[in-house]
Chain A
Amino acid sequence: MAYTIETHGLTKAFKGHRVLESLDLHVAPGEVFALLGPNGAGKTTTVRILATLESPDGGTARVAGHDVVTQPGKVRERISLTAQEAAVDGVLTGAENLRMMARLRRVPDPRQRAAELLERFDLQDAADRRVATYSGGMRRRLDLALGLVTQPAVIFLDEPSTGLDPRSRLAVWEAVKQLKDEGATILLTTQYLEEADRLADRIAVLNHGRIAAQGTAAELKQRVAGETLELFFAGDAQLAQAQRTLHGRPDSDTLSLKVPADGPHDVKRALDALDGVPIDRLELHAPTLDDVFLSLT
């Protein structure tokens, strides 16, 4: 099968610090693929290599059928990148930004296209204001619109909703869904499990430049303990004693022990097993990105 985004053994280091360690990715045409990981996992570096902004130290990457290193021009014709930092021109107005991008993308009627996008992203009222006066959410919406003056085959979204208010975040999510319906292949990065869950067909968990796991949201969740029971103790001795019977992950700073617990039965079983070790208090946590990592790495 021909993948739209395909990397083999991609490596990249900055000043001796290895950011990507042999990364293999396969994204099918029309798929929404999420790279999930904490800061420093290599998400942005991956996107920048795929968008022809960095060259890899080793390995190969193909986007829309072209090698990003040897045919960057061909790749650039088929992609659009919305980076973490809004890539807008603050001195120009929103409408001018869109018209400029439409001209650069050879859109037949830049004025018309700009007007359409301003409407679609709810920016008509601010169209003739300088972008420097826009709020963060408006800048991000304009940024997304700038990436869509033509219908790119492949869209990269680097943390599209980080730092957005809930309303703008929903607008971004709506836009992603619409783009998918129009047939685009989308690679997005995120720190939020919920975002990946909502938008992505498949998710790859990236950690220290490697893929720790990949699959659908449902597949990944199965690999994570449903919920986590956290028990707090008065001292090191009690913590050690509890760990001997329950195992789990101890934290000597907070004097707590985390054990997987799927439902009330597991909680009861854990408490019974403690058999008299005094507990200060307990908390029950829903799965977080943290848990996904801890269980996968």
Chain B
Amino acid sequence: MTDSLTFVGRSLRHSVRSVDALLTAILLPVAIMLLFVYVFGGALAPHGRYVDYVVPGIIVLCAGFGSAGTAVAVAQDMTTGVVDRFRTLPISAAAVLTGHVVASVARNALSTLLVLGVALLAGFRPTADPLNWLAAAGLLLALMTAISWLAACFGLLARSIEAANAVTFAAAFIPYLSSAFVPVDTMPAGLRAVATHQPVTPITDTLRALMLDQPAPHALTALAWCAAGIVAGRIGAAYLFRRPRPNG
């Protein structure tokens, strides 16, 4: 536990000191949101309030995209000798990665707040009560934690920083095949089946329902996906961290 805190401190310092990466992580989500609300919004829902539909989707997209950046941070560690020093210390295998994950969640919580703030300025009108907000925050934190741990696994598997970057890029596309931007029943049958059953759809639907004070029938599915991601990612990452590197 103490070791994890030490590594959280290290990763937070890293986050704050790579100014360009931090700016990208915070400003890109805002740009994406403005793009959807003002550029696509008119065509996608000419009469409805698309902004209310899409903001929860954007938040999920940004949380996923930002958390996937953990892969790059971990890969960066693996390509320098410093990780060998950590691996010869009598510490828990997960401590280094816990540092990365917690810093990632902190970064993304910050950028999510910013996105939400800009969304309110752009006309987003959530109707959630405090309890709903709390639940929404909890779900988002669980999502960020899950994706950060899974991304850490990819960062450990990647042979280079570029490869880890590609993972982040691919992860940003998954939300497009979900209910994040358009309702799934507007999609062709085959695609609809994929979109309905992939994790982003129940998570986005639940977040939207919480924010707009609607019933959330898929809340348990959403939580189960997040929990599964956290458990699988954490176990996988600890194993991969101790695994001897190829060509060591």
Interface residues of A (CB under 8 A from B): 14-15, 45, 48, 51-55, 73, 76-77, 79-81, 83-92, 96, 100-101, 103-105, 130, 146-147
Cross-interface CB contact of B13 among A14, A96, A103, cutoff 8 Å: A96
Q: Is the CB of B88 within 8 A of A76?
A: yes
Cross-interface CB contact of A90 among B6, B80, B247, B248, cutoff 8 Å: B80
Knowing that A51-B88, A52-B88, A104-B89 are A-B contacts, what are 11 other residue pairs whose CB atoms are under 8 Å apart, sorted by A's residue number?
A15-B247, A45-B248, A80-B88, A83-B85, A87-B80, A87-B84, A88-B82, A89-B82, A92-B10, A100-B6, A100-B9
* Interface status of B87 (Cβ within 8 A of chain A): yes
Give complex CA distance A101, B9 in Å: 12
Q: Is the CB of A55 within 8 A of B244?
A: yes
Pick 19 A–B contacts, CB within 8 A, sort by A.
Answer: A51-B88, A53-B87, A53-B248, A55-B244, A73-B90, A83-B84, A84-B81, A85-B84, A87-B80, A88-B81, A89-B10, A89-B80, A91-B13, A91-B18, A100-B6, A100-B10, A104-B6, A104-B91, A146-B85
Chain A residue nearest to B11 in the complex (CB): A91
Chain A residues whose CB sits within 8 angstroms of the CB of B247 once the complex forms:
14-15
Q: Is the CB of A77 within 8 A of B90?
A: yes
Ranked 9 nearest A-B pairs via Cβ: A85-B81, A87-B85, A87-B81, A76-B90, A77-B90, A103-B6, A81-B88, A54-B244, A87-B82
A39 to chain B, nearest CB (A): 15
Q: Is the CB of B13 within 8 A of A86?
A: no
Give complex CA distance A86, B84 in Å: 10
Chain B residue nearest to A76 in the complex (CB): B90
Give complex CA distance A83, B81 in Å: 8
Give complex CA distance A99, B184 in Å: 52
Chain B residue nearest to A78 in the complex (CB): B90
Give chain B interface residues in 1-44, CB to chain A under 8 Å: 2-3, 6, 9-10, 13-14, 17-18
What DSSP secondary structure best describes chain B's contact surface? helix
Give complex CA distance A84, B18 in Å: 27
Give complex CA distance A15, B246 in Å: 9
Give complex CA distance A45, B247 in Å: 10
Chain A residue nearest to B85 in the complex (CB): A87
Give complex CA distance A88, B35 in Å: 41
Q: Is the CB of B6 within 8 A of A79?
A: no
Cross-interface CB contact of B248 among A54, A81, A86, A101, cutoff 8 Å: A54
Give complex CA distance A156, B60 in Å: 47
Q: Is the CB of A104 within 8 A of B3?
A: yes
Chain B residue nearest to A52 in the complex (CB): B88
Q: Is the CB of A91 within 8 A of B14?
A: yes
Give complex CA distance A260, B17 in Å: 60
Chain A residues whose CB sits within 8 angstroms of the CB of B80 once the complex forms:
85, 87, 89-90
Chain B residues whose CB sits within 8 angstroms of the CB of A96 once the complex forms:
13
Give complex CA distance A5, B3 in Å: 28
- Which among B3, B13, B14, B81 has the highest number of chain A CB atoms within 10 Å? B81
When A91-B13, A100-B6 are in contact, do A53 and B81 touch as well, CB less than 8 Å? no
Give complex CA distance A96, B84 in Å: 18
Chain B residues whose CB sits within 8 angstroms of the CB of A92 once the complex forms:
10, 13
A53 to chain B, nearest CB (A): 6
B102 to chain A, nearest CB (A): 15
When A77-B90, A91-B17 are in contact, do A53 and B10 touch as well, CB less than 8 Å? no
Chain B residue nearest to A105 in the complex (CB): B89
Chain A residues whose CB sits within 8 angstroms of the CB of B81 once the complex forms:
83-88
When A87-B81, A91-B18 are in contact, do A79 and B88 touch as well, CB less than 8 Å? yes
Give chain B interface residues in 45-98, CB to chain A under 8 Å: 80-91
Chain B residue nearest to A15 in the complex (CB): B247
Chain A residues whose CB sits within 8 angstroms of the CB of B18 once the complex forms:
91
Chain A residue nearest to B83 in the complex (CB): A87
